[in-house]
Amino acid sequence: MSIRYVQSSRLPTKWGAFDMHGFEDISAEKEHVVLTLGDVSNGEPVLMRVHSECLTGDALFSLRCDCGAQLQAALAAIAKEGRGALLYLRQEGRGIGLLNKIKAYKLQDEGADTVEANEALGFGADMRDYSICKPILDHLHINSVRLMTNNPRKVAALEKIGVDVVERLSLETPSNPHNEHYLATKAGKLGHLME
């Protein structure tokens, strides 16, 4: 794996003006973005979200998942705190890619849950790789984090690569009739911690 820093710029949003940092994963031929607010390199634990790309939820406002709502809630929390980071990783569909995710959606339309759909397509339930986070965080001089996630596997994966997760903060958003089964599967089969 070879992560290369490319460039930074300002990104004004409805929550405030973030710094946007671009990184390239040369071996996987993927581009990743980090949004930061305030001084994240001062040694204090950083409020952080590691968010995997979800075109349908983040940009197309799908109600099938909670991704877009979690993304917005994380940015709002960082803005409220005045300091933090959001890693936006290009790992669509829990790492199976956009077109395979559409195939998985079709299987879900026919009754499969998200885990069953991925497995029916020959993938694991969650194919994401968080090892790319370490070189990105090292570049930004982020040593310890307060991680916004409901996923204990994400906490364990970051700790395994040497990220000091000093606190896990729940990031739950309201459910709707279209994502209740999805959320139940995340809790029941993937171990997500839901209130």
Residue 7 is labelled as binding a ligand = no
Residue 70 is labelled as binding a ligand = yes
Instruction: Return the sign of the alpha-carbon dihedral for residues 23, 25, 30, 35.
Output: negative
Res 133: pLDDT = 95
How many CB atoms are closer than 10 A to CB 93?
A: 27
Please give, one letter per residue, the 3-state secondary structure of 63-101: CCCCHHHHHHHHHHHHHHHCCEEEEEECCHHHHCCHHHH
Mean pLDDT by groups of 10 residues along the chain of 195 residues: 92 97 93 97 95 94 91 97 97 91 94 90 89 95 95 92 94 77 62 66
Q: Which residues belong to the active site?
A: 126, 128
Residue 91 is labelled as binding a ligand = no
pTM for this entry: 0.91
On the CB side of 153, how many CA atoms lie within 13 Å of its CA? 13
How far apart, in whole angstroms, are the C-alpha atoms of residue 147 and residue 162? 14
